[in-house]
Amino acid sequence: MKLVLFDLDNTLLAGDSDYAWGQFLIDRGIVERTNYEQKNEYFYQQYRQGTLNIQEFLAFQLQTLACHDIKQLDTWHAEFMQQYIFPMMTSDAKAAVDAALASTEYVAIITATNRFVTAPIAAAFGVRHLIATEPEQIDNRYTGKVQGTPCFQQGKITRLHEWLSSLNVRLDQFDESWFYSDSRNDLPLLQQVTHPVAVNPDPTLQQHANQHQWPVLHWQTTTARHDS
């Protein structure tokens, strides 16, 4: 039995969907540019350095979801997919996902980015299972709060076990477990699987992969063809 997990941002995507959603909101005039752009960049640099306060970031990011009804958010997201996400979907990433889907039913994207942003992206890759940070909803409206454990760093392990439990399987039951990621923030989960793979790794992950003889892949940034 085989499990294949993919990180999303800067792994399957040639860019960061969290950061890009913020830029979309700015460019579309939905949020005030100067303050929001500064905070978006501030949190993104924290993430890259491995120092992100996930609760502080989510309070910033999810507040915009709470300010608008879901129908409007979905309309904006469709534009976001066309303008930002499809150009980030690379042929190497699509080929890797297609190969995984052909070899096992246990394929998931696991990402710190919230489900509102990432669910349509997972669908575009053809991946049915998504493990993501869950924005709370009440009466079909986002509250600006998080439901459950954020899917970040050690939280990815927690959320993975919750998902596997819902399928009545355990991680140790898999003969092979693969996780593809670019980020130092994913070292906790990379160390849990039998086959960790660094994809376009940041310097910290590159060093760790070299020390532990993990495979290192450099996926090209050629956009995969998408028929919308």
Tens digits of residue pLDDT in 155-185: 999 999 999 999 999 999 999 999 999 999 9
Residue among 7, 18, 182, 202 flagged as catalytic: 7
State yes or no: pLDDT of 226 exceeds 70. no
Asked if 9 is an active-site residue, the reply is yes
Residue among 9, 18, 92, 186 flagged as catalytic: 9
Strands annotated E in the chain:
2-6, 106-114, 129-138, 141-147, 176-181, 195-199, 216-217
Residue 55: both structure tokens together: 């609760």
Q: What is the pLDDT of residue 33?
A: 85
Asked if 182 is an active-site residue, the reply is no
Domains of the chain, each with CATH number or no CATH = 2-217 (3.40.50.1000)
The number of residues in the chain equals 228
Tens digits of residue pLDDT in 105-154: 999 999 999 999 999 999 999 999 999 999 999 999 999 999 999 999 99
**pTM exceeds 0.85 for this model:** yes
Q: What is the pLDDT of residue 225?
A: 47
Kindly state the percentage of the chain with pLDDT values over 70.
Answer: 96
